[in-house]
Structure 1
Amino acid sequence: MTFSLAGRCARTGMLGAIVTTSSIAVGSRCQHAAAGVGAALTQHMTDPRLGPLMLDLLKRGYTAQQAIDAAAAGTPRGDWRQLALIDREGRTASFSGANVQPELAEAHGRDCVALGNIVRSKEVPDAMVRAFEADPEAPLAARLIAALKAGDEAGGEFKPLVSTALVVVHEHAFPYVDLRVDSDPDPIATLARLWREYEPTADLYVTRATDPDTAIANRPKQS
């Protein structure tokens, strides 16, 4: 009962992931990203340890496929897990254990990989990939949100969605964007609104962290 996508912006090198589900606090469990490394998804009887594990394996020189294989083999009851991974070059891998519940599907595209389980249609991940690929010049966060909307429009879940989460990383250890929505009757729309509000300030918050003097110098003057 989750659908998600991990993606990369070839233009900027940003990496990110987005996920939604009918249970609360999906952002605390399912999506992970590390700047210059990759983005990972772990869902269905979710083991939140697997996202950081897959990213660590990428750092150690594993390919995306090798990292997925190692994570699936190393987790207790890997037959219940659904995983996806993209590396900094846009190479992808995915895994669905034998006990992942239908409808389930995986889809790979240019600089992206999508997953779905307990969704209305196997088309959900394919629709997400198409939407993500549609506008490669758009900001990565906007492309990820467009993908999630497309997955919902392609059938989405059987139960009402209540939570969603978006993470994007760029050049630093902290996220460029980290937005979460919980207990909301329309979490995808709310996430899209939050991104519209946050987008004009995203670069500013990076500058405040890395170069406070410049941030102060560029602060709007009081009239």
Structure 2
Amino acid sequence: MTFSIVGRCPETGQLGIAISSSSIAVGARCPWLRAGVGAVATQNVTLPALGPQILDLLEQQALAPSDALQHALSANGWSQYRQVTVIDSQGRTALFNGKEALGLYNAVAGEQCVAAGNLLSSEAVIQAMVEAFENASGQLADRLLAAMHGAMAAGGEAGPVHSAALKVVGDLVWPIIDLRVDWADEDPIGQLDGLWQAYRPQMQDYLTRALDPTAAPSYGVPGDE
């Protein structure tokens, strides 16, 4: 039903998540990030509250990812239905697979990343994601998308994928990348990659527009001189 990867760039400190699902609008419920703190993917029978709760525990109580994860799961109950992965600003990871996770499920921690999925075509899908991330080059977003393509090449989900999302935080309090395909009959991961290729050359310009409007480039739209 869902597979995802959370990762960190050791050079920039960026944190990111790429995720896809057979369900609609996976990006609205499952990826949670906070600049300088961590990233959480909460999936399977999703409880969106786990994301911000774990991030609060990482930030406010300075808990290790494994402790923050267990604390949040214990506080909310029904943990047997959850699948959650965490990475913090230091690159430390944690993962949890509830025994009621759907179908064939797996989670694997790698170097500066952790991937997980349920209702998979095979357990090898998740290992393929980790290896693709570790072996990819480029920006964090490129490496996260490489992991998603690696998952699909290894068999992906047992059924069709319909939504996908990519989210990255850096030094700023808002995401520097927040792209979503909420529903597609075919290849939402490919469509998400296309969005990233279109957004990549404009990303820095939008950051400049926010931080220093006097230096903002013109895009030639009405009123934008």
Assess same fold via TM > 0.5: yes
* Aligned mates of 1:220, 1:65 — CA distance in 2: 46
Classify the secondary structure of the residue corresponding to 2:216: helix
TM-score normalised over the length of structure 2 = 0.94
Is the Cα–Cα contact under 8 Å of residues 82 and 97 in structure 1 kept in the other structure? yes
Two-structure CA RMSD over aligned residues (Å): 1.4
Q: CA deviation at 1:193?
A: 0.5
Aligned pair in 2 of structure 1 residues 220, 3: CA closer, same or farther (>3 Å)? Answer: closer
- Deviation per CA, 1:112-169: give whole Å up to 9, x if none: 000011111111111100010113x410111111101111111111221110001000
Classify the secondary structure of the residue corresponding to 2:165: strand
Counterpart residue number, 2:40: 40
- Answering whether residue 101 of structure 2 is matched by residue 116 of structure 1, we say no
- Answering whether residue 54 of structure 2 is matched by residue 54 of structure 1, we say yes
Counterpart residue number, 2:183: 183
Counterpart residue number, 2:78: 77
Q: CA deviation at 1:94?
A: 0.3
* Aligned mates of 2:160, 2:112 — CA distance in 1: 29
* Aligned mates of 1:16, 1:198 — CA distance in 2: 16
Classify the secondary structure of the residue corresponding to 1:19: strand
Counterpart residue number, 2:163: 163
Classify the secondary structure of the residue corresponding to 1:124: helix
AA in 1 matched with 2:42: T
Classify the secondary structure of the residue corresponding to 1:172: coil
Q: CA deviation at 1:72?
A: 1.5
Counterpart residue number, 2:209: 208
Q: How do residues 125-136 of structure 1 correspond to structure 2 at under 5 angstroms?
A: 125-135=126-136
* Aligned mates of 1:98, 1:48 — CA distance in 2: 19
Counterpart residue number, 1:173: 173
AA in 2 matched with 1:54: I
AA in 2 matched with 1:192: D
Q: How do residues 78-117 of structure 1 correspond to structure 2 at under 5 angstroms?
A: 78-117=79-118
Counterpart residue number, 2:20: 20
- % same residue: 45
* Aligned mates of 1:110, 1:96 — CA distance in 2: 20
TM-score normalised over the length of structure 1 = 0.95
Aligned residues: 219
List runs of 5+ in structure 2 lacking aligned partners.
Answer: none
Is the Cα–Cα contact under 8 Å of residues 72 and 95 in structure 1 kept in the other structure? no
Q: CA deviation at 1:101?
A: 2.3
AA in 2 matched with 1:82: Q
AA in 2 matched with 1:10: P
* Aligned mates of 2:102, 2:197 — CA distance in 1: 35
- Answering whether residue 148 of structure 2 is matched by residue 148 of structure 1, we say yes
- Deviation per CA, 1:37-96: give whole Å up to 9, x if none: 111000011001111111111102011111111122122311100000000111100001
* Aligned mates of 1:164, 1:205 — CA distance in 2: 23
Q: CA deviation at 1:220?
A: 7.7
* Aligned mates of 1:141, 1:11 — CA distance in 2: 13
- Answering whether residue 61 of structure 2 is matched by residue 68 of structure 1, we say no
